[in-house]
Amino acid sequence: MSFIITIGQVVRRSGVPASALRFYEQRGLIHSIRTGTSQRRYGRGVLRRIAFILFAQKLGLSLTAIAAELAKLPTDAAPSKKDWMRISRTWETALDARIAELQRLKRGLGECIGCGCLSLETCKLVNPADRAGQNGAGARYWIGDRRPR
């Protein structure tokens, strides 16, 4: 493991609180070694892994998905550009689908969502007698059910 840094240095450099670092370590996302007094020490490569975790979380990826990809990387060295490119390619499709879903939801703002609330003025026109509720629970039109025309 190259260049050993303390948890305090990782906190200052990454901007991530020590409690989050311990949580990430518990989940297997990052790794440390322990000194004789049980203090955590990290390889400098941990900063890249933490940056990746934060970036992936901003993309909306779950810690489970992040852990699955990080498990494929070396734990004793910083991942290479080739490693990052391989990971990013695997997530492009999922990210494109998420963007499309968010755009669909944005277009639907202010419209009937098929929840059966019957509280919006348009419900009696778009979803009379809670027709959407016949398809199941939840906001049916937002989860993908088609509105009857």
Question: What are the per-10-residue average pLDDT scores of the chain (149 residues)?
Answer: 83 96 93 87 90 89 89 75 84 85 79 70 74 83 79
The domain locations on the chain are: 4-100, 110-149
Give me the pLDDT at residue 120, please. 67
Instruction: Specify the CATH class of 4-100 in words.
Output: mainly alpha
Helices (H), the chain: 7-14, 18-26, 46-58, 63-70, 81-108, 123-126
For residues 2-24, b (16+ Cβ closer than 10 Å) or e, as one string? eeebebeebeeebebeeebbeeb
Whether the full predicted model's pTM is greater than 0.75, yes or no, is: no
**What Å distances lie between residue 25 and 1, 102, 131, CA to CA?**
16, 32, 48
